[in-house]
Amino acid sequence: MPPDPRPPEGPTRRILTVNVNATPSVTESIAEAPRAVAEPGVEIVGLTPTFGAPSCEGNVQSYLAAVGVMDAVLTCDQPFNPVIQARFGEHRREGLQELLDQPVVDIPRRPLTSPPSWGAATPGVSTLGRTVPLIEDRLRLAGLMERCASVRASSTSVPDLERDENAAVETIVAEAQRAVEQDRAEVAVLGCGGMAALEGAVHQRCGVPVVDGVAAAVSVAQSLVRLRLRTSKVRAYTSPLPKDLKGFWFGR
């Protein structure tokens, strides 16, 4: 008989939000944003990989992030449930799903309010053009590409953001507006959190619901905990067979 899928309530009150890059300041802003939607008594803890790139675009840095994130989570010494991995999944959360049976959530790629019969624009903060194909492939695999009006890149990087927030906000808002007006998007999903100003600004200019990706992820994660759901282990996400890793070990 399989293990009872219903974990004790205990550890379920701490949500881990793992940054995909090795920049603690970003980790902080990622963990801060969703606190507004946390249920009473739920703690949100940010986690920073101990290696990888200070910001992630493209495949090389993304694979480093995938490993860095697994490493950070495996060496985390507090109980937690579930885990949020920031960003649109282009940094691959499947490794975590094999390693843990707590749910692993990234930015829900179909905006929760989006009708199944309608698409959504996904202008991501700090989504450079080169990252768009990675996100589009994630949508394809989820069967959602046909429903996504467009994935648009604001050529704004996290550093830009820290340098001049207003300019960055303006760039992103303009991109969202193109998504709504030219691509017929009905919802805007923001690629990362930590920008109080942005959400309101996009809504004001575009008149569509705006989804803060990380807050949405936390919110879905809480649902999973309430439903006591675990990652399915029967096939795709079976735990890895123990093997002697060479030249690398998690949490070294």
Look up residue 41 and give its two tokens: 């008594």
User: Any contact of residue 97 with its own copies (CB under 8 A)?
Assistant: yes
User: Any contact of residue 61 with its own copies (CB under 8 A)?
Assistant: yes
- Rounded to an integer, what distance in angstroms lies between the CA atom of residue 151 and that of residue 148? 7
CB of 71 vs its own copies, minimal distance in Å: 9
- Rounded to an integer, what distance in angstroms lies between the CA atom of residue 129 and that of residue 151? 10
User: Closest by alpha carbon to 17, among 198, 161, 222?
Assistant: 222
- Rounded to an integer, what distance in angstroms lies between the CA atom of residue 216 and that of residue 14? 16
User: Any contact of residue 197 with its own copies (CB under 8 A)?
Assistant: no
Whose Cβ is closer to its own copies: residue 137's or residue 162's? Answer: 137
CB of 239 vs its own copies, minimal distance in Å: 9
User: Closest by alpha carbon to 210, among 162, 183, 177, 239?
Assistant: 177
The single residue among 60, 78, 79, 162 that binds its own copies, judged by CB under 8 A, is 60
User: Any contact of residue 66 with its own copies (CB under 8 A)?
Assistant: yes
The single residue among 129, 162, 163, 182 that binds its own copies, judged by CB under 8 A, is 129
User: Any contact of residue 184 with its own copies (CB under 8 A)?
Assistant: yes
CB of 184 vs its own copies, minimal distance in Å: 7
CB of 78 vs its own copies, minimal distance in Å: 21
CA–CA–CA angle 203, 93, 213 (5° rounding): 10
Binding to its own copies in span 132-161, by CB under 8 A: 133-134, 137-138, 140-147
- Rounded to an integer, what distance in angstroms lies between the CA atom of residue 103 and that of residue 230? 5
